[in-house]
Structures are given as C-alpha cells and as structure tokens.
Structure 1
Amino acid sequence: MILSMEQFERDQQEILDLYLDNKIGERHLITKAPTWNNYKASYRPLVEYAKQHKMPVIAANAPGDIIRCIGKTGSKYLDKLPAKKRQLVAAEAFIDVDGYSDKFFGVMGLTGHVKTTSRLYQSYQAQLARDNTMAESINQALKQSPNAQVIHLNGSFHSADHLGTVGALKRLNPAINVVVITPVHTGQLVDYKKKHQLKNDYFYLLNQQPKDFVSVKNMKVAHKAMFAKSAEKAKLCE
C-alpha cells in the first residue's frame, strides 16, 4: 500500500522521506517542508500511520510557487523553467477533462467567454496543473509498484464526479480501478447525492466543524490578509 498526498509537493519528497526514515523530527518537517498550517489537526495521523507501517508516502502535488505563477501569467510560465524545475510539474500539465471547466467556472457563477480570457482562465490552468501533476505522480508510483494499492488524499473538488485528478489519472491509465471516498457533513448527504454523480463512490459522515467566522467583517479582514500575502508572493513570478 502506498499513500499519496496533495498536501506535500514534489520538491518536498526528500525531506518527507527523511522524516519517514526517522532522520529528522516532526518540527523540522513542519518548518522546513513546510507543511500546511493544519498539518497536526488534519493529516498528521495518516503520515504517522504510514511511518509506523513502513508505507511509502508520495509528495504528489506541484510546487505552490510554480502553481502561483501559472495562475498569474498562464501556461507559458512553464516554458521559463529550467529542466530540473520543470520536472516538478506534469509533462502534460494542462490537458483538460470533459466537464471539468464547466464545474470550475460554475462554482464562480461564470460561463462562456470567461473560459478563454482573463485571469480566471489562468487560475483554471493552475488547477489543471495540480490535477495532472498529482495524477502523474500516482501513475508513476503504480508503474514502479504495479501490485500496490495507492490511497491518494486530496481536497474533494479534485475528485468529485470523477473529474480533476481522477479524470486525469484515468486518461493516463484507462484500465485503472478508482474508488472515490468523500467526506460529507452529517445532514448534507442527501443534497450531496443530488448534485454529484455517484458512480459507486463511498461516503463517510463528519460532524459539523466549528465555524471559521461568525462576523462577516472578521471574515473579510482575514481574507484580505490572505490575498495580500498571496499577491506579495506572486511578485516573485515577474
């Protein structure tokens, strides 16, 4: 069995392996990778399970700095990368999956010409680069260990309706058997089933989590700070 994770990026594979081999401690992993802010609360248990059972863990995602620059400047950004860094993103980074763009832009309430113009389309290209990179990472792991079962962890948008990463993986390996397990909050399963194609998927129910914000004002302040931080990082793409 192999664990594959969206939460780690390809350029973090070496430091992740050092942690799994007990050559560095958790604090070093968290600060030097670095991990996502919710590491301890959300996906630390999976990493620890893999470590205890000697399971390989694949840092499947494309590096965030490259994805950020694709979102700012579009697909042509990859042409600027040196060969070694270019390998951190899927060889075919921008191949689409039928129906995925409709879903992506539909979430934003947008259709039509928006798909081929504007900064939003570059955001979609960044999304595709993530999906295709994760799919390629999974497929490479299966080529190296053809008898293994890969458990891949990602945000549900990447796998809902068998689009995103799932669709990209099936393009690379049409014979692969994929099962999607989706977390759904208690009380929302019926509505979820109405909106999504099930295709023999599985679900597990979660209790409602505490609200991130009660005050709209506080939410706007937090989001403004987050976007400002992203904009500052995006300046490095220039």
Structure 2
Amino acid sequence: MLPKRLNTSTFSLFTLALISGCSSLTSSQNNSTSVSSFYDYQIYTPQGDNISLSQWAENIQTADVILIGEWHTHAGIHRFQTDTLKQLIQNEQSVALSMEQFSRDNQPVVNSYLNDEIGEQTLIKQANAWPNYESDYRPLVELAKSNQLDIIAANAPKPMVRCISKHGLDYLAKLPQDKRAYVATNIDLGDSPYKQKFMASMHHGEPSQHLNMYASQLTWDTTMAESIVNYKHAHPKTTVVHVAGKFHTEGGLGTAAQIKQLDPSLNIVIVTPVDAITKNSHDYQLEVLSPPVRYIKPENQQAAFSELFKNSSEPDCS
C-alpha cells in the first residue's frame, strides 16, 4: 500500500536494450536549432508546434495520466521529466509520480524512504534501483519526496518477468497469492497493434520464444497500467505522471492501451522523444538529440551480448 501523504531462454537487459532501441523515428525539416546538446529539449504539440514548458503544463492540466517515454539514460529527457513534475507542483496541481524503475514488491521500501525511515543507499540496495538511479532518477524522486508526493512502484518484479519470458504466462499459476499480486490480474496475449509492433522488433530466436518474450513485455505494460489505474481510483483528483521506456508508451500503445482497457474514462497524455518533428503525431513530441549508435562493428555487439548473458543470473522459476 502507498503512504497517505497528501490524503491522497531468459529475459535479460539485452531485451531491455533491444526494445528501447527498436522504434523507428520519423523525419521532418522542422528541427529546432536550440537542441544542440544532450541536456537540451524542446516540447512540441502533436501538430508540430513548439511550446514553452508553462504552455505545455497549461495544455495538459485536465490530464488524468501523463506518460513520458524515455530513451533510458538520456540527460535531456530526464531533465524534461523533472522539469514537468516541478512545473505541475508550482501550478499547485495534485500530482503523484509513477515509475517503471521500481516494482510492486518494493513499494514498502520506497514508502520507507519517502517517510525518512531509511537512507538513499538503503533504498538503492533494497529496492533494486537501476544502475543509473543516482544520475537520472534521483532528481525526480527527491523532488517528489521534498514535496510529499506519492511515488508508485508500478512495475512487475524483474525475476518474475524473466520467468514469464522463459516459461510463458503458465508460470503465474504456480505462484502463491501474495506473489501473484505483484503482477497484473489479467494479461491478454491476443492480437493487437502493439503485439504486431513488438513481434516486428524481434530479430533473434524462435517464434515460440518471441511469444514468451511478448508475454513478459505485456506483463510489464499491464502491471504498470493496473498500478496507475488502481491509484487513480483511490485518488481521483490526482494526476499521475508515469516515466518509462518509450516503447512502453508511444503511439497510445503498450501501457497507454492497457490503461484505456481498464478505465476508458481516463484522459491520457503521452510524450514521446524524437530527433525530428512531424506535423501529425499521436503524441506530444519531445525533441532531443538521438542517442549515439551503440555498436558499429557486429563483432563488438555480439561480444557485448555474450558478456551480458554470461553475467545474467538465472531466476528461480520453480
């Protein structure tokens, strides 16, 4: 439970890297000259008009949920996330922060940190914070903490997600009730635009593995969506700002689609980072510099993946 602060074979990091980097980018002649470093950003409307941060906050004041997609570790995007949260606080808007980067089983640890019962290093260790927590997510968490905002540990536990990638959704039937509650109640693997997009991004392994990988991905999306909707139902006047990888949020698919299935009445606003602006986007567009190419030589990429698999510990899926 969240604190009442204002009355209110394996799935690995390889998959995370693959998913976050597989989305195609649109092209446009309307590039902003102000975006010249990885700290810079410029927000645009779906129609391709650039607006200020204060105008952006004004435009979205009726949103129930704000989904901000990211290229993980991108300084400009993380700066925008923090600036957005700060602007909403300054506008005296009731707001909560939801994060892909913490999972449901660690909600009590996050709560303890918000309540000053533990220090940051304890939070990082006990809540299995991402390696880039201190550089990229500390500003968000500390801003929320200093303003007594709730933080929703929205995701499914990574070991459980990896077991689903190995054994499929049948793995969930083995779990005791308390652990089963750490993932979404219903996970539908039926055909959808999101499933088509995911399958098109898979370039390695067998089709049966791809389906299990999709099941694990959808477990992420559906669990995050359910966590957000459950919070909204308990705090209907609070806007939830959720941060996650862009594949989870862009184009109204993934987590956004799952939120709509759970509660069609919710008004969802989506921000997607791009390196070029289009005139007809589903989402608000955040112009930033695109990340550098990860690998140029195939042998370097293969060596990195091999090292990643070698160092990945197998979860206990029994």
* Fold conserved between structures, TM > 0.5: yes
Aligned mate of 2:177, from 78, 83, 89: 83
CA distance in 1, matches of 2:143, 2:268: 22
Equivalent positions of 1:133-212 (< 5 A) are 133-184=223-274, 188-190=275-277, 193=278, 198-199=281-282, 201-209=283-291, 212=294
Q: Which residue of 2 aligns with 1:237?
A: 317
RMSD value, Cα = 2.1
Q: Which residue of 2 aligns with 1:70?
A: 164
Aligned mate of 1:93, from 187, 201, 225: 187
Q: Which residue of 1 aligns with 2:86?
A: none
The 3-state SS of whatever aligns with 2:314 is helix
Query: Post-superposition shift, 1:96?
Result: 4.8
Asked if structure 1 preserves the Cα contact closer than 8 Å seen for 2:164 and 2:216, the reply is yes
Shift of the 119–10 alpha-carbon distance from structure 1 to 2, 3 Å rule, reads same
CA distance in 2, matches of 1:128, 1:163: 11
Q: Which amino acid aligns with 1:69?
A: C
Q: Which residue of 1 aligns with 2:108?
A: 14
Kindly provide the CA deviation profile for residues 167-217 of structure 1, in whole angstroms up to 9, marking residues without a partner as x: 000000101100101122xxx324xx49xx723x21222234455556544
Asked if structure 2 preserves the Cα contact closer than 8 Å seen for 1:71 and 1:125, the reply is yes
The structure, 1 or 2, with the larger RCO (C-alpha pairs under 8 Å, 6+ apart) is 2
Q: Which residue of 1 aligns with 2:200?
A: 106
Query: Given the alignment of the two structures, is residue 130 of structure 1 paired with residue 220 of structure 2, yes or no?
Result: yes
Paired residues, number: 223
Q: Which residue of 1 aligns with 2:16?
A: none
Asked if structure 2 preserves the Cα contact closer than 8 Å seen for 1:97 and 1:168, the reply is no
Query: Given the alignment of the two structures, is residue 120 of structure 1 paired with residue 210 of structure 2, yes or no?
Result: yes
Identical aligned pairs, as a percentage? 40
Query: Post-superposition shift, 1:43?
Result: 1.6
Give unmatched runs, 5+ long, in structure 1: none
Give unmatched runs, 5+ long, in structure 2: 1-94
The structure in which a higher percent of residues are helix is 1
Q: Which residue of 1 aligns with 2:81?
A: none
Shift of the 161–209 alpha-carbon distance from structure 1 to 2, 3 Å rule, reads closer
TM-score by length of 1: 0.86
Shift of the 96–62 alpha-carbon distance from structure 1 to 2, 3 Å rule, reads farther
Query: Given the alignment of the two structures, is residue 4 of structure 1 paired with residue 98 of structure 2, yes or no?
Result: yes
Shift of the 95–169 alpha-carbon distance from structure 1 to 2, 3 Å rule, reads farther
Asked if structure 1 preserves the Cα contact closer than 8 Å seen for 2:250 and 2:271, the reply is no
CA distance in 2, matches of 1:48, 1:125: 33
TM-score by length of 2: 0.65
Return 211-220 or 130-139, whichever deviates more. Answer: 211-220
